[in-house]
């Protein structure tokens, strides 16, 4: 499989994991290991170095071959996200930043305007910027022009398990993008991750579907296998989809 | 709504319509695609009690969807028990013989230290109604002190002006809790015998002032037992929905306080049994799937253990309801109400972990507070 290139970094795994919502950090670590993920995202607001039993950052830093991608979940606007990103970079030493700005704490949908503003500032500041965004093809191009290393359109709302709700828009984003497109949020089943990869996504980010599974580690493995299968299928070139039958003998030979 | 008593009258009308529902209607309310006040009312009917188990299952799965397998923990800190109001149900009402105390700043610092050592990162600072002893400036100064140590500081005090809430926000307060107690205007008037809390309209408009000032969250609730708990719950939902739609950059949290024994010996006219309280919580989770639902140590351990993760996503732990209760209140002091769950933080964490729920202490960062 070709490596996933984000800025000047390269990764073999195309499955990214979120670290919230697990029943304990031990369960979370097991799932991360089982997934083979090389990038995990962790919310700055869950950094708690004073109380290790409550901290998500400490346990993750013990893992080898993992790149941390802190996220700015909790930020309501660009200014807060920029402050949070800089603090997170200082605390965990990673240049990767997932810009996550959802002013509404209930549906957690990203604010496109603030996300764009924050992405511009952070890209200019040397971050490898990964913006969580609505599946909007124009915004995706604007974010690419702003210097983002990837775009991360949501499949559906965080935690909803509604899969890829706007597949048509995702296709347009993928067809027009010069940076990796990573579906983030909403996936429920490994088959949905495989479908995203088959459609040409560069990677997927999964959290709830693994954290809320009966057996998170086993589900993490299932997602890893699905991502690999979907990616291999995309590389192999899927047969074109058609709504009509293709005749094995040409029908227009008589026209000469 | 233009008139603050409309929440009650509308809720009552919705409840009356729902009371005629049959089993089929109640069942379909539980699975509705976009449930609203009508569905809430249906799920709160006595006939719905037969479906409590199904409601619990749906509440649990919705809670896990938004909050994951986690419950966040916070601690209340009583700053002062001076009060200027005469609420019949409260142990701190101004006619009680309670010794009155207000924590001087050095004692506030000791309490904050004690809570920080317990591992808390989220605290709720409480006072009575506005008094010369515990006024706005005092609360503001305490918020400033607390926000030096705690990433998340919330306040449960007296209704303030938008300007005061703005100042409190700048001092480091991210949320305000303010219970309506009851939306029934007549009962409200009877329960609040004197003092500033008698102002029903002022109380109803306070949560909007909180959000107008830019606070991240407003905690709402009714004191279950004062009035018909079903109608009050529907009224609360109507109010919360109105705020949620208007102040879309902020969040709502709902608490479910029910009247506890307190000095004064007030007996509620509408006592709320465990099964009804559970029904109310499950119904709220189904109609507000992504709103934090809060349960305090007013409730006994077995009830809290059962509700954790099944609707409830946020809990207080190891609470003291006396002023200075963490670092040395006089033993003879009585709290605002009797605490039922006296377990330590460690015991609460063990309980949650045994249920495969992660206790979360820090879910906020001061970087977002300013």
Helix (H) or strand (E) holding B125: strand B122-126
Whether pLDDT at B332 is above 60 = no
Which one of A64, A98, A120, A141 is the catalytic residue?
A98
The confidence band for B194, taking pLDDT boundaries of 50, 70 and 90, is confident
Q: Which residue has the higher pLDDT, B220 or A44?
A: B220
The confidence band for B329, taking pLDDT boundaries of 50, 70 and 90, is low
Encode pLDDT of B286-300 as tens digits. Answer: 999 999 999 999 899
Is the Cβ pair B365, A74 closer than 8 Å? Answer: yes
Is the Cβ pair B119, A83 closer than 8 Å? Answer: no
Q: Determine contact: B117 vs chain A, CB below 8 A.
A: no
Which pLDDT belongs to residue A181? 97
The confidence band for A249, taking pLDDT boundaries of 50, 70 and 90, is confident
Q: Does the B6-368 domain belong in CATH 3.40.1410.10? A: no
Encode pLDDT of B32-82 as tens digits. Answer: 888 999 999 999 999 999 999 999 999 999 999 899 999 999 999 999 988
Average pLDDT, chain B: 92
Average pLDDT for B23-28? 89
Q: Determine contact: B63 vs chain A, CB below 8 A.
A: no
> Cβ(A58)–Cβ(A92) under 8 Å?
no
B38-42 — which CB contacts under 8 Å span 24+ positions?
B38/B14, B39/B286, B39/B287, B40/B233, B40/B234, B40/B237, B40/B283, B40/B284, B40/B286, B40/B287, B41/B11, B41/B14, B41/B15, B41/B17, B41/B230, B41/B234, B42/B18
What is the share, in percent, of chain B residues with pLDDT greater than 90?
74
What are the backbone angles phi and psi of residue A212, rounded to the nearest 5°?
-95, 5
Q: Determine contact: B133 vs chain A, CB below 8 A.
A: no
Q: Which residue has the higher pLDDT, B123 or B27?
A: B123
The interface predicted TM-score (ipTM) is 0.78
Q: Count CB pairs under 8 A between chains A and B.
A: 93
Q: What is the 3-state secondary structure (H, E, C) of B254-304?
A: EECCECCCCCCCCCCCCCCCHHHHHHHHHHHHHHCCCCCEEECCCCCHHHH
Residues 6+ apart with CB under 8 A from A183: A152, A153, A154, A155, A164, A170, A193, A196, A201, A203, A204, A205
Give the closest-approach CA distance of B195 to chain A in angstroms: 35
The confidence band for B370, taking pLDDT boundaries of 50, 70 and 90, is low
Whether pLDDT at B93 is above 90 = no
- Cα separation, A217 vs B272, whole angstroms: 42
> Cβ(B358)–Cβ(A24) under 8 Å?
yes
Whether pLDDT at A30 is above 60 = yes
Partner residues linked to A206 by β-bridges: A17
Partner residues linked to B53 by β-bridges: none
Whether pLDDT at B255 is above 60 = yes
Residues 6+ apart with CB under 8 A from A203: A4, A14, A15, A16, A180, A182, A183, A227
Residues of B in contact with A105 (CB under 8 A): 216-217, 250-251, 290
Residue of chain B whose alpha carbon sits nearest to that of A105: B251
Which pLDDT belongs to residue B2? 80
Whether pLDDT at B266 is above 60 = yes
Q: List, as one string, the DSSP characters of chain A.
A: -PPEEETTEEES--EEEE-SS-S-HHHHHHHHHHHT-SEEEEEGGG--TT-GGG-SHHHHHTSTT-EEEEE-TTB-SHHHHHHHHHHHHHHH---EEEE-B-S-TTT----HHHHHHHHHHHHHTT-EEEEEE-S-HHHHHHHHHTT-S-BEE-SSSTT-----TTHHHHHHHHHH-SS-BEEES---SHHHHHHHHHTT-SEEEESHHHHTSSSHHHHHHHHHHHHHHHHHHHHH-PPPP-SS---SS-S-GGG-
Q: Determine contact: B20 vs chain A, CB below 8 A.
A: no
B45-48 — which CB contacts under 8 Å span 24+ positions?
B45/B18, B45/B19, B45/B21, B45/B230, B47/B21, B47/B22, B47/B23, B48/B279, B48/B283
* Burial class of B231 by CB neighbour count within 10 A (0 to 12, 13 to 18, 19+): buried
Facing B290 at nearest CB: one of A75, A106, A161: A106
The confidence band for B97, taking pLDDT boundaries of 50, 70 and 90, is confident
DSSP 8-state symbol, B77: E
Tell me the CATH number of domain A4-255, given options 3.20.20.70, 3.30.930.10, 3.40.50.300, 3.90.1150.10: 3.20.20.70
Facing A103 at nearest CB: one of B69, B249, B358: B249
Is the Cβ pair B365, A51 closer than 8 Å? Answer: no
Pick the residue of A19, A22, A23 with the most B CBs within 10 A to test the interface with B by mutation: A23
Kindly list the domain boundaries of chain B, sorted by start residue: 6-368
Whether pLDDT at A16 is above 60 = yes
The confidence band for B267, taking pLDDT boundaries of 50, 70 and 90, is confident
Q: Determine contact: B57 vs chain A, CB below 8 A.
A: no
Facing A212 at nearest CB: one of B68, B248, B361: B68
Average pLDDT for B95-101? 83
Facing B353 at nearest CB: one of A24, A48, A104: A24
Is the Cβ pair B365, A75 closer than 8 Å? Answer: no
Residues of B in contact with A84 (CB under 8 A): 365, 367-368
Give the closest-approach CA distance of A161 to chain B in angstroms: 8
Q: Determine contact: B364 vs chain A, CB below 8 A.
A: yes
Pick the residue of B243, B245, B368 with the most A CBs within 10 A to test the interface with A by mutation: B368
Which pLDDT belongs to residue A112? 97
Which pLDDT belongs to residue A96? 96
Whether pLDDT at A247 is above 80 = no
- Please say if A98 is a catalytic residue: yes
Which pLDDT belongs to residue B134? 92
Which pLDDT belongs to residue B84? 83
- Cα separation, A220 vs A218, whole angstroms: 5
Strand-by-strand arrangement of the A67-71 sheet: A152-153, A128-133, A96-99, A67-71, A39-43, A15-18, A203-206, A182-184
Which pLDDT belongs to residue B331? 57
Whether pLDDT at A128 is above 90 = yes
Residue of chain A whose alpha carbon sits nearest to that of B119: A51
Residues of B in contact with A159 (CB under 8 A): 65-66, 68
Residues of B in contact with A24 (CB under 8 A): 353, 356, 358
Give the closest-approach CA distance of A89 to chain B in angstroms: 13
Residues of B in contact with A87 (CB under 8 A): 365, 367
Which pLDDT belongs to residue B88? 86
Residues of B in contact with A22 (CB under 8 A): 68-70, 358
Kindly list the domain boundaries of chain A, sorted by start residue: 4-255
> Cβ(A70)–Cβ(A98) under 8 Å?
yes
Query: Sign of torsion, CA A242 A244 A249 A251?
Result: negative
Considering all CA atoms of chain B, what is the largest pairwise distance in Å, rounded to the nearest integer?
60
Residues 6+ apart with CB under 8 A from A72: A44, A80, A81, A84, A85, A88, A97, A98, A99, A100, A101, A118
Is the Cβ pair A54, B353 closer than 8 Å? Answer: no
Q: Determine contact: B216 vs chain A, CB below 8 A.
A: yes
Residues of B in contact with A55 (CB under 8 A): 362
Pick the residue of A45, A52, A89, A109 with the most B CBs within 10 A to test the interface with B by mutation: A45
């Amino acid at each position: 499989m070709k490596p996933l290139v984000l800025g000047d970094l390269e990764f073999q795994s195309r499955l990214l994991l979120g670290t919230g919502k697990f029943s304990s950090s031990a369960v979370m670590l097991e799932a991360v290991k089982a997934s083979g993920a090389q990038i995990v995202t962790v919310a700055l607001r869950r950094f708690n170095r004073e109380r290790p039993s409550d901290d998500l950052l400490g346990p993750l830093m013990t893992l080898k071959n993992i790149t941390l991608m802190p996220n700015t979940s909790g930020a309501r606007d660009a200014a807060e996200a920029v402050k949070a990103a800089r603090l997170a970079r200082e605390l965990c030493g990673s240049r990767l930043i997932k810009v996550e700005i959802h002013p509404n704490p209930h549906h957690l949908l990203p604010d496109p305007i603030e996300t764009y503003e924050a992405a511009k500032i952070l890209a200019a500041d040397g971050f490898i910027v990964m913006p969580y965004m609505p599946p909007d093809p124009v915004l995706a191009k604007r974010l690419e022009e702003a210097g983002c290393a990837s775009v991360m359109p949501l499949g559906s709302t965080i935690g909803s398990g509604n899969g890829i709700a706007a597949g048509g828009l995702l296709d347009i984003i993928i067809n027009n993008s010069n940076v990796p497109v990573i579906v983030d949020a909403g996936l429920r089943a490994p088959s949905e991750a495989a479908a995203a990869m088959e459609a040409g996504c560069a990677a997927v980010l999964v959290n709830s579907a693994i954290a809320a599974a009966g057996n998170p580690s086993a589900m993490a493995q299932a997602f890893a296998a699905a991502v690999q299968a979907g990616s291999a299928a995309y590389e192999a070139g899927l047969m074109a989809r058609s709504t009509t039958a293709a005749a094995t003998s040409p029908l227009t030979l008589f026209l000469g | 709504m233009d008139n603050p008593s409309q929440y009650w009258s509308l809720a009552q009308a919705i409840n009356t319509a729902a009371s005629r529902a049959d089993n089929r209607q109640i069942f379909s309310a539980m699975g509705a695609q976009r449930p609203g006040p009508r569905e809430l009312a249906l799920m709160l009917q006595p006939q719905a009690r037969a479906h409590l188990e199904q409601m619990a299952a749906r509440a649990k799965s919705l809670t896990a969807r938004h909050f994951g397998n986690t419950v966040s923990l916070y601690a209340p800190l009583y700053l002062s028990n001076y009060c200027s109001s005469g609420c019949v149900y409260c142990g701190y009402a101004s006619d009680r013989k309670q010794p009155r105390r207000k924590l001087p700043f050095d004692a506030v610092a000791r309490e904050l230290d004690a809570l920080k050592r317990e591992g808390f990162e989220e605290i709720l600072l409480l006072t009575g109604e506005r008094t010369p002893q515990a006024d706005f400036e005092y609360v503001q100064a305490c918020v400033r002190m607390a926000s030096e140590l705690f990433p998340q500081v919330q306040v449960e005090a007296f209704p303030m002006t938008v300007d005061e809430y703005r100042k409190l926000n700048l001092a480091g307060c991210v949320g305000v809790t303010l219970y309506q107690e009851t939306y029934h205007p007549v009962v409200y008037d009877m329960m609040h015998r004197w003092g500033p809390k008698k102002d029903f309209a002022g109380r109803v408009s306070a949560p909007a002032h909180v959000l107008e000032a830019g606070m991240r969250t407003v905690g709402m609730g009714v004191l279950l037992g004062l009035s018909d708990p079903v109608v009050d719950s529907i009224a609360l939902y109507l109010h919360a929905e109105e705020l949620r739609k208007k102040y879309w950059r902020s969040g709502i949290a709902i608490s479910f306080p029910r009247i506890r024994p307190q000095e004064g010996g007030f007996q509620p006219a509408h006592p709320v049994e465990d099964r009804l309280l559970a029904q109310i919580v499950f119904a709220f989770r189904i109609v507000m799937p992504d709103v934090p639902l809060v349960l305090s140590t007013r409730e006994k351990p077995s009830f809290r253990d059962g509700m954790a993760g099944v609707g409830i996503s946020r809990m207080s732990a190891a609470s003291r309801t006396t002023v200075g209760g963490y670092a040395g209140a006089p033993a003879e002091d009585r709290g605002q109400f009797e605490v039922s769950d006296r377990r330590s933080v460690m015991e609460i964490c063990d309980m949650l972990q045994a249920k495969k729920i992660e206790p979360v202490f820090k879910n906020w960062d001061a970087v977002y507070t300013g």
